[in-house]
Amino acid sequence: MPKPIASLSLDLDNRWAYLRTHGVEGWQSYPSYLPTVCDRIGAVLSEFDLDITLFVVGKDLEDEANREAVAGLAAEGHEIANHSYWHYPWLDQLEPELLEQEIADTEIAIEALTGVRPVGFRAPGFSGSPEVLSVLASRGYRYDASTFPTIIGPLAAWYARLKSFGRHQDGRQRFASLRDGFATLAPHVVSTPAGTLVEVPVTTMPVFRLPIHVTYLMYLHQFSRMAAYAYLRTSISLCRMRGVAPSLLLHPLDFLGGEEEPLLSFFPGMKVDQRSKLSLLRTLFESMQQHFDVGPLARHAATAADALPAEITPVSIADQV
């Protein structure tokens, strides 16, 4: 019997974006770790013959070393998708012209680099909106992956204020509400005035709706290695029991140890060393491949769309907010 389709994606957020979010001076020079981390990402994924989706920030493609790093991953067969140009976590607050520019400029940069027009998008900080979806549909995108159905959204907002995240964001960063935590985990079609596209939520733990993206596992690992591995096993088991084909999220810092990025010690999971992180990643990849047919998001979205009954009415954007 064929394994259910699942997906892995990685938001290729750069060092400067995290420094800006935390209000650390020096981000204006756009310091980058992409050449280092992209090599490592490619090497680890090749061990498992895995192709995934990488959501790329357009600003990073202005730098030649960054361009070479991303081009290398594209050449290895990974999907390159759109993560906006400036990585604003308040994308849903932008004026229509600026919103379109954020998406279009990155799209143009990706196509110029890879020769392939991106078909997928994820809003930074899950700051999607009906307007974002409409722009995507009008530009021919096939899927969006900007929803994160977890019940800890309000807690994330409190933590951000406590840690002064977003001090340069004029209070505009959006976090999921408690209501968002009960949205569907299944890929589904959304309709916009400009057309339809598939929404592929970032999977959270079925039933409990707790995060299971890899950065959260790394955060648990800071306190207990056993707890992190048990949490991973439980999450995969619940996905199988509930018939959820997972779409899991990675970040570059999941591949970098705390000893390698001291300026980013504030980021969750950065008290874990490189060796321990890579060990957990390998366990995750092995577990997913044991139970699922794992690949990039574009394939996941296309398979889900094909499986939807023809008589299903596309979900209105108004029902997503």
Calculate mean pLDDT across residues 146-174: 58
Chain centroid, CA 320 distance in Å: 19
pLDDT at 110 over 90: yes
Confidence of residue 61 (pLDDT cuts 50, 70, 90): very high
- Name, in order, each residue with C-beta under 8 angstroms of 279's C-beta and a sequence gap of 6 or more: none
Task: Kindly give the interhelix angle for 274-291 and 34-47, rounded to the nearest 10 degrees.
Answer: 40
pLDDT digits (tens, 9 = 90+) for 220-262: 999 999 999 999 999 999 999 999 999 999 999 999 999 999 9
pLDDT at 188 over 90: yes
pLDDT at 162 over 70: no
Confidence of residue 315 (pLDDT cuts 50, 70, 90): very low
Calculate mean pLDDT across residues 194-209: 95
Other C-beta atoms lying within 10 Å of the C-beta of residue 308: 14
Please state which architecture CATH assigns to domain 5-203+245-256+292-311.
Alpha-Beta Barrel (3.20)
What is the reported pTM?
A: 0.91
- Name, in order, each residue with C-beta under 8 angstroms of 9's C-beta and a sequence gap of 6 or more: 52, 53, 54, 55, 81, 122, 145, 247, 248, 249, 250, 296, 297
Q: What local confidence, expressed as pLDDT, does residue 163 receive? A: 46
- The domain ranges of the chain are 5-203+245-256+292-311
**Reduced to 3 states, what is the DSSP secondary structure of residue 9?**
strand
Closest CA to 317 of 147, 151, 160, 203: 147
pLDDT at 177 over 80: no
Strands (E), 193-308: 195-199, 247-250, 293-295
pLDDT digits (tens, 9 = 90+) for 13-57: 999 999 999 999 999 999 999 999 999 999 999 999 999 999 999
